[in-house]
Structures are given as C-alpha cells and as structure tokens.
Structure 1
Amino acid sequence: MKLMQRRDFSATLVGAGALALGLPAAAQGGIVEGTHYVRLGQPVPVTVPAGKVEVVEFFWYGCPHCNAFEPMLEAWVKKMPDFVAFRRVPVQFREEPFGTHQRIFYALEAMGRLETMHRKVFFAIHNDRQRLDKPADIAAFMTKNGVDGAKVVELMGSFAVQTKARQAKQLAEAYKIDGVPALGIQGRFYTSGSLAGGQDRMVLVAEYLIQASRKV
C-alpha cells in the first residue's frame, strides 16, 4: 500500500495568487500530465450543476499527511471561487480502521456536527494518540466534546451511513486513488502530494486542473 508514502509539504500557505503562479508554469511545461497529475481513462460522473467544477479531497483520519494538510486545505477552500463545489471523501483501503473512520465522518455529517468536529477527530488521533476504532472509545470522545456519543455510534451502524461509506469507497476506486491526501477534479483528473511534488504544489496543480475543466 502506498498510503503513507507521501512527502511532507512546505508550511507556506498557497493563497489567492496560486492560480496566477500555476498557469504560467503550465504554459512553460511546469505542470505535466502523467507526471504531476493523472487524467482518468474513464471519467467519473459528477453531480454538480452545469457551470460548476467539483473538487474532491480524498483523506483518512489516521493519515498524518492528511492531518498536516488540513490547515492549508481549509484556507484554500475559503478562497475558492463560487464555481467550485468542494467536498471531502474518506477512503477505505481496507475495512479497519478505515471503515470505522469513514463511518465517524458520515455519522457526524448526518448530525450536522462535521464542521465543528472534523479537526477535533484529527487532533484526537494524531495529538492525543487516541485510536478511535472502538465504539466505546468513539462514544466517550464524542461525549467529551459535547456530541451525543451514543447517537454517533448508532448512526455509524445505520443504513444511510453505511450506504455513503460504500459510495465513498466506490468513488475512490473509480478515481484509482492509491494514497492520501489526493484531490479529484471534475471526475476527470486527480493529483496528490507525491505526484505534484509536495502538498503546496498539489494545490497549484489542482487550480490549474480546475481552470482546464472549465474550458472543456
């Protein structure tokens, strides 16, 4: 598995000027298909309205690189133009602990608590060294943070959450994601830190692909 074979990235924030930097680089051959990003042989259907470009972050709560990327990602998402539709998709390379972490994500989403708890789950795993792979531990953590822990565990076993987890797994497979974090663009491209040459560079490549998707 290539999950953990991801380079560390610069802490320098890629801001509003990223696209301006990325496009000239592409014109000079700086962003190369097959090297810095992959074009899917079979496009993945997207559900965004016409005129929108979908960007998907594939991640795993247990991945240290996803944890490190999160602050940069959050800052980037806040600056995305209106025509970009962003969403996160947790991966499942095998059932455990990936499946459990997937279901935590979708249970929190169903409860409307994802926005407040997403970073806290990362922090618990990577800073507090909590595994969050057992129902009792998950419930205790959620309750400590003001969320109904019993309800989270209940929802994790629900049909709706299990369906979303299965769909997430299918989407990652359709994009041929073999490591995280990775960014899927409009069902046609994906890039990652290892492809782009760092997590900050991954954002530049993604912005280039967003613009390329608008021209098609």
Structure 2
Amino acid sequence: MFKTARSRLTALLCGLVLTTACSAASSDKSAAPFTDGNEYVTLPAPYQRYSSSGKVEVVEVFSYACIHCAEFSPYVDQLRKDLPPGVELKQVPAPFNDAWVPFARAYYAAKKLGLFERTNDALFDKKFKEQYPINSMDEIADFYASEGANRGQFMVIANSPETDAQIKKDLALIQTWGVDGTPTIVVDGKYRSANIKDFPQLVALTKWLVQRELNADKGK
C-alpha cells in the first residue's frame, strides 16, 4: 500500500513558525476507473489554482525531505513529458515543519539560479540513495555549491524576504487544498489525490483528471 509522508499543517500568525512533524477520460460515472472520495476528492469551490496561466494545471506538492517524493520523482519527470499540449506541471515544496522549510527555500533558490532541472533528481539521490547528510541550510547550500552554485548567492536568495513570502503563500494554498501528505497531486485547484495504492496509479489518476478537465474546457 502506497503511503504519503504526512503532517498536520499549522501556521502561526507571526512569520514562518511551522509546527508538527513529517509523517507527511470517460464522462460516464459508471465506467470511471477512479472514484471521488476514494482515489481523489473534489475540492470545494471557489477553486484556487497555483497560477493563472489559463492552462490545465497539475501541481505536485512535494519535499526534498520526503523519501516517497524521491521515489516518485522519476514518475514526475516522465509525466511532465507525457502531458498533452495545454497542460503544465508545477511543483510546490511543502513547508510542513521547521525541518522541511530549508528544502522549500532551496527549491526557490535553485529555480531562480537556473539550477532546478540539473539538481532536482541529484539532490534526492544524494540524500536518500547515497545517504549523504543533507538536512540543515548549510548542508543544503554545500550541496548546491558542489553543483556549481555560488554559495553566498544561493544563501541570500534562499533566505530572502521574497522567498519567505512565497513559502507563506504556498502554505496557505496547501492548507486550502487540504493537503496533509507528500507527494500529493492537485489538478486545476479542483481535484486532489487521496487514497492511492502506488505510484503508477497516481500517474494514471493524474492523466485521467487532466483529460477530464480538457474535456470540460472543450465543452465550454
């Protein structure tokens, strides 16, 4: 049985004080391979998307601190290639607790420095396959420096007010979506993955929900 890393999300009113620990194509309903309330849930309206691009949006809520996300990462890489035109895949780093916040900071610093594509799987491999100690902000910065980043510049971006604001925004959206585990998929801010048995099923569900949204757009 596939299990996500779970955590109860609690945001305090001041700053980035985050508590709790890591845990964590048919329109015919009779023929649907997935059931609302089981493999996925329909979120309450008004639906809140991550972006306003106008494309059908697939969001993976993940963390570099989550071993399940490391295992799912190759599936995400393939899914990004397989999604049809008019669909975009985005990732949101989950700041579930104090231990996960540095990894969220690292994600945004890597994106801004143009290092994400080259280092995404490498960070997972270093931390989980090689069992290299990467937990603190300093250790994370050392990793990115080894991948060619300017360490000082990386740290400035990772700890900037802009990154603080983005992490707060991410947390609010994750709470709105009811995400309490990683990896979780959210499609168009409307559907959230729920009781999934394995990664292939999560990919299949994502593609099915995407096609459902594309069909709905055609019908407008």
Indicate the percent of aligned positions where both proteins have the same amino acid: 23
Contact 1:43 1:187 in 2 (8 A): no
CA distance in 1, matches of 2:32, 2:86: 26
Tell me, what secondary structure is at the counterpart of 1:162?
helix
Tell me, what secondary structure is at the counterpart of 1:97?
coil
CA distance in 2, matches of 1:121, 1:25: 42
Runs of 4+ in 1 over 4 A off after TM superposition: 22-27
Pair 1:176–1:166, CA change in 2 (3 A): same
Residue matched to 1:182: 184
Q: CA deviation at 1:137?
A: 1.7
Residue matched to 1:111: 113
Unaligned runs of 5+ in 1: 6-21
Q: Which shows bigger deviation, 25-34 or 121-130? A: 25-34
Residue matched to 1:101: 103
Q: 2:52 aligns with which of 48, 59, 62?
A: 48
Residue matched to 1:205: 205
Contact 2:40 2:191 in 1 (8 A): yes
Would you say how many aligned residue pairs link Structure 1 and Structure 2? 195
Deviations 1:109-157 (A, max 9, x none): 1111111111111112112223433233223222222111222112111
Contact 1:65 1:180 in 2 (8 A): yes
The two structures have a TM-score, normalised by structure 2, of 0.80
What RMSD in Å do the two structures reach over aligned CA positions? 2.1
Residue matched to 2:38: 35
Q: CA deviation at 1:64?
A: 1.2
Q: CA deviation at 1:28?
A: 2.2
Deviations 1:30-85 (A, max 9, x none): 311001101112343333344x2111000011111111111111011112111102
Relative to its length, the structure with more helix (as a share) is 1
CA distance in 2, matches of 1:103, 1:205: 29
CA distance in 1, matches of 2:108, 2:27: 39
